[in-house]
Structure 1
């Protein structure tokens, strides 16, 4: 009885505080309330004005994410014994081209079949950016700059990945103030509360921007822990980004009501372009992960083939052709396991080595035969001499 009474009191206290918290969240995240709706839309109302030029909340949020990403990148460079000011060199090229790529991505894939006029391309203040376009152009730019600076692009991308996840987490709140990137309509009053839903106009929609913001923030924490791990390997952070963010975006994009679709002329294929890019991102992440753990994967592959009794074929092929493991690529190993023969280039090298060995073997056999003939002739001469000496003694 006492336990039941205490449980009832605790439940009432918790429920009352939860209702207060809900009311507070409703006040904050209700687009129709004056708290966040100064001129009908926070994203379009200037947060500050500089020389008469209004800067929106959306722009401030995006820039905040960029600055934090650069700071984290700089600190990671410093921690791993590199010049932290290299982060500014990369940012100088990556940021403008990433924005350009995000803009191209938005214009290349029209929303709901409505084709944007390319004459409006440079009207950035009207909005219209795609994260994946920025990521793609940013990575290409980073790769070129790293090659020019004679640095490893994979290593640099490992240091950029954490800041990128944090910037994306912060940037999603720009979608919040712009009243965009939300999901499907929610009609059940029991689910019309934040963070499950966000109010836009008179209706409630899935707060997909918030889902992605939280997931990318968790991803940022995980990749930072990964970088601190003693078992960290080059390429692991960027592989994690590709797999993790690709999966998050693949799932959340399916909930959004403002997705960009792949159009073939006037025909809508029904394929959400961001989901398609997510699949490619996940695949590239898995490829990078396999490269990072290639020795372990090869060992696991060998053990698996040993159980199947196929390692003898591999060993015999290696001994027969003279192709060593150091000369093999992962593709060559798979090709060799499946066919029992090395890949074309390796096979040509193996045949050349075999021909050289055959020629040397033939030369050796000829020299052996000649030496045997010479030894036979010398034996005959010695026998004749001995026979002649014996005849002379008899006489």
Structure 2
């Protein structure tokens, strides 16, 4: 017997509904802020700098993440314009949010005369942590899944029953690609946290570049398993973007390492 899917609504008071999707994203943002502030203190950056940056970056990142998704699904949203703002039902693209957040960070650091590389190094591990947590919002909304599979195949992965039940979507069991990406992201978070303070391991900017390389490498393969990819013609756009960003990150490391005057990451 297949149990009903989990309720995507966490709490409801009258007409007000709080979705698990939003709760999980908010939790990731708060944890990322706390960890960034802690690392910022180690490097002499005042706490208010992170609050100020988040005040600018969060709304821009959310809008860009939604616009990125809506643009690629315009054939649907042009017929349902009232749903464009329904971000609580899912449908945000992490690459859109990351690009929007990066643009704000460049503007903010330029305005405050701060080192953008230093700021990126500090927040990069917390961003991939938040991404890993955020994928569980997809779990509650039953999205970001892969192709059709069997219950036996899911059980062979030693997945708990409650997760397997939630992967019964549209009359069939689905590959839990959201889970694979969450595990990949959280593994990257742990590695970056363990390695970034090792003496003479990372140069300034390389924690961020390692994050980009790690995330895009995994995203390329996981995206290939998904059935809801945003397409540009016959191409899965996120796969193409992953390749481009991976090459840029590795190229940047090689190029910057040749500049022997670059400082090491703060020990």
TM over 0.5: yes
Which whole-Å CA distance do the structure 2 matches of 1:121 and 1:191 have between them? 36
Of residues 189, 208, 220, the one that matches 1:220 is: 189
Structure of higher RCO (CA pairs closer than 8 Å, 6+ residues apart): 2
Q: Secondary structure at the match of 1:249?
A: helix
Which whole-Å CA distance do the structure 2 matches of 1:119 and 1:169 have between them? 30
The answer to whether structure 1 residue 63 and structure 2 residue 32 are counterparts is no
Which whole-Å CA distance do the structure 1 matches of 2:222 and 2:149 have between them? 16
TM-score under structure 2 normalisation? 0.87
Residue of structure 2 in register with 1:271 after alignment: 235
- Name structure 2 gaps, 5 residues minimum: 261-267
Following superposition, the deviation at residue 286 of structure 1 comes to 1.2
The answer to whether structure 1 residue 42 and structure 2 residue 7 are counterparts is yes
Following superposition, the deviation at residue 52 of structure 1 comes to 4.3
Q: Runs ≥4 in structure 1, deviation > 6 angstroms?
A: none
Of residues 176, 183, 188, the one that matches 1:207 is: 176
Residue of structure 1 in register with 2:138 after alignment: 175
Deviations 1:60-113 (A, max 9, x none): 011101111111111111111111221101100111000011011101112xx8
Q: Secondary structure at the match of 1:213?
A: helix
Please provide the CA RMSD for this pair.
Answer: 2.1
Structure in which a larger fraction of residues adopt helix: 1
Residue of structure 2 in register with 1:252 after alignment: 222
Following superposition, the deviation at residue 270 of structure 1 comes to 1.2
Which whole-Å CA distance do the structure 1 matches of 2:12 and 2:34 have between them? 26
TM-score under structure 1 normalisation? 0.60
Of residues 92, 97, 115, the one that matches 1:129 is: 92
Following superposition, the deviation at residue 229 of structure 1 comes to 1.2
Aligned counterparts, 1:1-395, within 5 A: 32-33=2-3, 37=5, 41-43=6-8, 45=9, 47-49=10-12, 52-110=15-73, 114-117=75-78, 118=81, 120-187=83-150, 190-193=152-155, 194=157, 198=164, 199-201=167-169, 202-231=171-200, 232-262=202-232, 269-295=233-259
Larger radius of gyration: 1
Pair 291,75 (structure 1): closer, same or farther in 2 beyond 3 Å: farther
Which whole-Å CA distance do the structure 1 matches of 2:152 and 2:14 have between them? 47
Asked if 2 retains the 8 angstrom alpha-carbon contact of 1:169 and 1:212, the reply is: yes
